[in-house]
Structures are given as structure tokens and as C-alpha cells.
Amino acid sequence: MPRKRFNQHFEPLQKACIPDNASYLLFRESTTHARLSTVVMYNYFKDAQRIAKELRSSFSSEPDRMEELRRIEQVAEHNAVALNLISRLGTLDPSLKVHFEFNYHPQFATVVVKRS
């Protein structure tokens, strides 16, 4: 079931064309020393949590939308914690494994970080 759900969500990306002369090895080599700011990614999750909380008053009489907001908040909270953990331990702990689950929301994946 998780594999099927993953395929349904990411199949369009898997079918995307890779430009000529852009192999995985070239991509990996060119991004090995890249420094991507985790602060910006973290703020997106925090923003999602903040916006969901702000919207609660607008949808207080609509239980379905309140449930949707709750789910989005849960995904954002879990992903913010996971990102924080990955940014602190990711390069220092090679046993760290990351995978995605759709436990809280059917369209937005939650990052699961575990040690192998």
C-alpha cells in the first residue's frame, strides 16, 4: 500500500525527461559541495503551521475544513522536527535513514527519520 501511494504521488516526476548530458553522476558531482540553507526550508514548515492556525477562526463552523487544517498542521510540525534533526545529525550520523509516509494527510508526505 505505501509503495502504491508513493507511485501515485511521484509517478509524474519519474516520467519527467532528463536533459541530455545530465546524468546522475554529473548531478551528484556538481551538488556534492553545495550548501543548501535548511533555515529557509524550516521556515516554510513554520509558516504552514502559522497560516493553518490563523485560518482556524475562519473555518470554525466547518468541521471538514478544520480537520484538513489539523492534518496540515501535523504534517508541518512533524516535518519541521525531522528537518531540524536531519540538519543537526545528517552528515554526522551515516546510519540515519529517511523515508516518507502519508500518515496524517493523503497528499502531503510526512518525513520519518530513523537510525538503521
Does residue 85 lie in a domain region? Answer: yes
Q: How far is CA 28 from CA 12, 33, 59, 97, in A?
A: 22, 9, 45, 19
pLDDT at residue 19 is higher than 70: no
Per the CB < 8 A criterion, the answer to whether 53 and 60 are in contact is: no
Cβ within 8 Å of residue 31, ≥6 positions away: none
**Distance in angstroms (rounded) separating the CA atoms of residues 16 and 35:** 25
pTM: 0.61
Give the separation between CA 100 and CA 106, rounded to whole angstroms: 12
Domain of residue 81: give its range. Answer: 37-116
The reply to whether 43 falls in a domain is yes
Mean pLDDT throughout 79-94? Answer: 81
Q: What is the pLDDT of residue 53?
A: 87
How many domains does the structure of the chain reveal? 1
Residue 86, domain member (yes or no): yes
Interval 20-63: pLDDT, tens: 665 677 767 777 776 666 556 567 888 888 898 888 888 889 99
Is residue 41 in some structural domain?
yes
The residue with greater pLDDT, 14 or 83, is 83
The answer to the question of residue 51 being in a domain is yes
